[in-house]
Amino acid sequence: MRLLISGGGTGGHIYPALALIDTLKKDDENSSFLYVGTSRGLESKIVPNAGIDFKTLEIQGFKRSLSLENFKTIYLFLKSVHEAKKLIKEFKPDVVVGTGGYVCGAVVYAASQMHIPTFIHEQNSIAGVTNKFLSHFVDKIGICFEAARKDFPSQKVVFTGNPRAQQVANIKATGRIGNLGLKENKKTVLIFGGSRGAKRINDATVAALDLFKTDEYQILFVTGGIYYEKIKEDVKKSNLKNIVIKPYIQDMPSILPETDLIVGRSGATSLAEITALGIPSILIPSPNVTHDHQTFNARSLAEINAAVMIREDTLNKEKLADLVNDLMQDDKKRTQIAMNAKKAGIPDASDRIERVLNTLITSK
């Protein structure tokens, strides 16, 4: 298979794309891949580091208010469509896949105009602007939450799940947590607000330090780089044991099998990992995302007792500490949440997408 894939801006668009590529490589070592992104997005570092051919387009999103910049946006989109057609002619893909972000709008639209099979993947419970636009032109649409089905033409929708889930589903405990200064035989809470950290989660955690019952469990607190130095000093002052502070963990999935509870955001990638491995979680959705989709993501698990959700505007040290202590002291409750999370996962997501892609290729 010759796959051209595009997705950019955030890890939520990039990691599912890389997970799908990983599966296709394993199934067919003769497959070829080209990833198209932007020079400014995270993909410009992550994708080349993964050893995948990478090309860039210059594009930007629309401003929500009236702005002359929107004229530039239209110009860049049309220019990117033209350049994308050149890349497509050179690479000659069998199929083109978009995983979200403005850049995939130009790439997938160009492919559809050239009558090449097209597929988009929506990771969240509420569809993004780019995927809504592309839904009118593509052949098939993969979703991870049933709630997203209503945002697309029903005859095109296929429930696939998130490829990231398949990538992490079979990860086993390796003792990696011991390398971080934690005890391998002690129950562990991971508090993690994303790669850049989350100030409200960090503030609530630091305020709650004296309330956590760390004689019974240990905490791995991943702060994000910009918050790390100050928080490290705050934790030192508290003189608490069994708490390890890190700015970021590059190989985060490797420690998840050794984690008994996660406190964090509810982005699509995080939920794919949590459900694939069946990990209990306290989800604190970011309110600063398009259409508040993290709240809808988290609610989809909370409603089936597959996670606990706290809205950020109600977060405080007492609530956080009470929930963490309650779950860490109640193995039965934690186990039930873990089982429900596991049931909500889609461990064969990449395989499902691969079947859809093969069908599209053979039908055109």
Asked if residue 10 belongs to a known ligand binding site, the reply is: yes
Asked if residue 12 belongs to a known ligand binding site, the reply is: yes
Alpha helices in the chain (DSSP H): 11-27, 43-49, 69-91, 102-113, 129-134, 163-168, 199-207, 228-238, 268-277, 293-302, 317-329, 331-344, 349-363
Asked if residue 56 belongs to a known ligand binding site, the reply is: no
Rounded CA gap, 228 and 310, in Å? 24
Rounded CA gap, 268 and 42, in Å? 16
Residue length of the chain: 364
3-state secondary structure of 176: helix
Instruction: List phi, psi (to 5°) of 350.
Output: -65, -40
Q: Are 279 and 252 in contact (CB under 8 A)?
A: no
Please report which helix (H) or strand (E) contains residue 29, including its range.
Answer: none
Asked if residue 350 belongs to a known ligand binding site, the reply is: no
Q: Tokens 């490290």 identify what position?
A: 232
Asked if residue 38 belongs to a known ligand binding site, the reply is: no
Q: Are 283 and 310 in contact (CB under 8 A)?
A: yes
Tokens of 63: 């401003």
DSSP-assigned letter for residue 63: P
Rounded CA gap, 328 and 41, in Å? 38
Q: Are 349 and 153 in contact (CB under 8 A)?
A: no
Rounded CA gap, 132 and 172, in Å? 37
Feature table: binding site: 10-12, 124, 195, 249, 294
Feature table: binding site for UDP-N-acetyl-alpha-D-glucosamine: 10-12, 124, 195, 249, 294
